[in-house]
Chain A
Amino acid sequence: MKKLIAAVLAMALCLSLFAACSGDTGGETGEVKVGFIFLHDENSTYDLNFMNAAEEACKNLGLSEDQYVFRTNIPEGQECYDAACELVDDGCTIIFADSFGHEDYMIQAAKEFPEVQFCHATGTKAHTEGLENYHNAFAAIYEGRYLAGVAAGMKLNEMIEAGQFTAEEAKMGYVGAYTYAEVISGYTAFYLGAKSVCPSVTMEVTFTGSWYDETAEKEAANTLIANGCKLISQHADSMGAPTACETAGVPNVSYNGSTISACPNTFIVSSRINWAPYYEFVINAVKNGEQIPADWTGTIATGSVVLTEVNEAAAAAGTAEKIAEVQAALTEGTLHVFDTASFTVEGAALDSYMADVDTDPDYTPDTEAISDGYFHESEYRSAPYFDLQIDGISLLDTAF
């Protein structure tokens, strides 16, 4: 019996020591622990962009390796909720998720753990959910698309001058994923950027119904090229469209990062979102006990909207200089991407548009987005809501 008591006491001692130790690592230092949830792993360009930013942010803030956790290949279902809860169990005080479909599961976890901050990139519901600890973020990527469009327009001008085709034949092609506001906002901004330097340009857009479908994206690009498109851009995450362009010798404006290594002759420039500034902003806010806004929109000024280096071998002369000039005008606020003077819808300029900013199943328009002569994109929530079909752009299919 004595032996038994001794054994039990010894075990209790061990356990309490263990508990004390694990308690120390969590509380005393007052440091944060950050959990990252990614839809895929580094083989997806979309997730790689987030993973690189997460690593950069943690390094910049001097977080040690046991202060951040990566969870990859988390589907957009109950697995996301489970992963978020497991990260909380693991001691995380901030949890980021990177994919649109994670949103509802993050909200569910946020309701359960009010002391943990849940930050979701690309979501739309934070401003209507009214949770203190649930936040959305996006970047004004339409400005990056606009700048990339300027580079595209200059390339078209160069080809027109070289006599490859007439100004009327200047048609671009765009491979989109879905008829989602984020995609519409992106291709419209790209088109307006091109139009600002090449006024006669038109554009055809086609949709693949998937964010990542290499074959479908390649086929879509080939169809556009066969339709007479002189330059291609895309909003989908595979190398399908860029490689189709390289094979056909058609210039390409890319997305998510440079594709120059695979497409040295046709890659012009690429825009992408850099998520590191947002990650750093949130981690610092939690460290300092500051509030995180429901919506955060990164801009060129915050370093969230970036362009890769221009590929001089494919781009028109003077592209980098022109981009710098337009970028300055955008940051100063003297130029607006969706200036109502620069586009028409069914032949008429707009002075009012009710956008669907508050997400609901009936897509009810709820917020006036046009004032002071331009469409206020990403101001009433971080995720894009520009979904107008403007003149000059024709959609080949809208099934998705």
Chain B
Amino acid sequence: MTKPRTNPLFHISKRKEITLRESASIRAGAILLALAACALVTTALTGENPIAVYGTMWHGAFGTTRKIWILLQNMALLLCVSLAVTPAFKMRFWNIGAEGQTLMGGLATAACMILLGDKLPNPVLIPLMFVLSCAAGAVWGGIPAVCKAKWGTNETLFTLMMNYVATQLVAYFVIVWEVPKGAGKIGIINQSTEAGWLPQLAGQKYLLNVLIVAVLTGLMYIYLSRSKQGYEIAVVGESERTARYVGIKVEKVIVRTMLLSGALCGLAGFLLVAGTDHTITTTIAGGRGFTAVMVSWLAGFNPLNMVLTSFLLVLLDRGAAEISTDFGLNHAFGDILTGIILFFIIGSEFFARYEIRFRKSAGKEG
């Protein structure tokens, strides 16, 4: 005896294609739902007016010219690290060592500023810092890549562990260079001479960083979508076997791409230390190496989309800080809101990729 087959309540199937309009409306819907959920949570937990909270977030991000510059600067640095990890991700090489690669770049920059600050003039010193910081990042990214290419080691664990080695190296050098003795801090390097400091353009502290990353975004887009190397990365990412079959040297592509990825992280470290903070600490990368993973994924590894996703994450972060100041709420509350918004946005990716079809009526066989 056979049971009568019943149709399930709904089917989930992969979308063949999605129009721009559909995808935009799904994402806009997600953001609206997220804002509504945040409003409910805000009212329930704090009793504050959610519209006022959103207004404050907006003000925190765009309230003054200075706030806009800070937003752009934070965005530039996050985007720089995100651009750095993207070629590796596109190759399906999970580089989660961007934090350490950035730190190594920063450490190389700081070392030049401290050791050579009074020996070389800025026009010589700054290019040297740039080259060495990219090289330091490249070495830090290259080691796991070589091991992966030669012995098939797990790159996720390897790159992650390299972060801790980098943190401890920085901690060591902080104690070597600390001022005053025992303080465990280096403080601003060359504050009086500004040796090794990136120049200010048009009187704007952060303009140069923003411009450099803007150019980098364009270059990375062209590299990934128009160059032969970019194509090789995509093929290796899709299928290593196919890549081998068509004659791509997979090992070479892995190492080359990770050297690039690490070098760009090193560049981010260089911009952080020489461009803005002018010091080195174990926490200077500020988790950007990990946030970058989200920026890159959310943007579907497209550098132009990453401008939007990094903007969104920095906007949420700056807004959250403003809420804690204005409403006297703990910083964690801003993080809760950020979490809710990201949950909806990441969730919307599912609906953009899959469609759900509900059972029309009972008994009808599909």
Contacts and interface: CB of A to CB of B under 8 A. Distances in A.
Interface in A72-111: 72-73, 75-78, 82, 85-86, 89, 100-101, 103-105, 107-108
Given A107-B191, A400-B175, A178 B330 contact: no
A165 B185 CA distance: 41
A246 B179 CA distance: 36
Contact of A361 (B179, B324, B330): B179
A184 B180 CA distance: 13
A77 B284 contact: yes
Interface in B33-66: 64, 66
Nearest to A88: B66
B276 interface: yes
Given A70-B325, A86-B66, A41 B180 contact: no
B109 interface: no
A188 to B, nearest CB: 13
A183 B224 CA distance: 53
Contact of A180 (B66, B184, B286): B184
B175 A72 contact: no
B70 interface: yes
Interface in A347-366: 356, 359-361, 363
B181 to A, nearest CB: 5
A100 B185 contact: yes
Given A41-B331, A78-B277, A89-B64, A104 B191 contact: yes
A101 B67 CA distance: 23
B115 to A, nearest CB: 11
B185 A124 contact: no
A277 interface: no
A43 B331 CA distance: 11
A42 interface: yes
A69 B327 CA distance: 10
Contacts of A71: 325
Given A72-B324, A78-B276, A400 B181 contact: no
A103 B187 contact: yes
B279 interface: yes
Contact of A104 (B171, B279, B325, B330): B279
Interface string B321-352: 10011001011000000000000000000000
B188 interface: yes
Contacts of B284: 77
A1 to B, nearest CB: 32
B281 interface: yes
Contact of B321 (A73, A177, A178, A399): A73
B247 interface: no
A183 B277 CA distance: 27
Contacts of B286: 75
Interface string B282-326: 011010000000000000000000000000000000000100110
Given A73-B321, A77-B277, A178 B184 contact: yes
A104 B278 CA distance: 10
Interface in A167-199: 177-181, 183-184
A77 B184 CA distance: 14
A209 interface: yes
A364 B184 CA distance: 17
A187 to B, nearest CB: 12
A387 interface: yes
B272 to A, nearest CB: 8
A348 B261 CA distance: 59
A89 B66 contact: yes
Nearest to A383: B180
A400 B279 contact: no
Contacts of B67: 86
Given A103-B187, A105-B188, A85 B283 contact: no
Interface in B135-172: 171
A181 B185 contact: no
A66 B283 CA distance: 33
B202 interface: no
B182 A387 contact: yes
Contacts of A180: 180-184
Contacts of A181: 180-182
B180 A363 contact: yes
Contacts of A108: 188, 191
A179 B324 contact: no
B281 A77 contact: yes
Contacts of B279: 77, 104
B188 A104 contact: yes
A85 B184 CA distance: 26
Interface in A17-72: 41-43, 69-72
Contacts of B331: 41, 72-73
A42 B332 CA distance: 12
Nearest to A362: B179
A101 B180 contact: no
Nearest to B321: A73
B191 A82 contact: no
Nearest to A105: B188
B64 A387 contact: no
Contact of B179 (A76, A77, A177, A360): A360
A178 B66 contact: no
A175 to B, nearest CB: 15
A124 B179 CA distance: 10
Contacts of A359: 179-180
B184 A209 contact: yes
A231 B269 CA distance: 45
A103 B191 CA distance: 12
Given A73-B321, A75-B283, A85-B66, A101 B181 contact: no
Interface of B: 64, 66-67, 70, 171, 175, 177, 179-185, 187-188, 191, 276-279, 281, 283-284, 286, 321, 324-325, 328, 330-331
Interface of A: 41-43, 69-73, 75-78, 82, 85-86, 89, 100-101, 103-105, 107-108, 124, 177-181, 183-184, 209, 356, 359-361, 363, 387, 399-400
Please list the 5 inter-chain residue pairs (A to B) with the smallest Cβ-Cβ separation, ordered nearest first: A180-B182, A104-B188, A179-B182, A78-B276, A78-B277
19 contacts: A42-B330, A43-B330, A70-B328, A72-B331, A75-B283, A77-B284, A78-B277, A86-B64, A89-B66, A101-B187, A104-B188, A108-B188, A177-B184, A179-B182, A180-B182, A180-B184, A356-B180, A359-B179, A387-B182
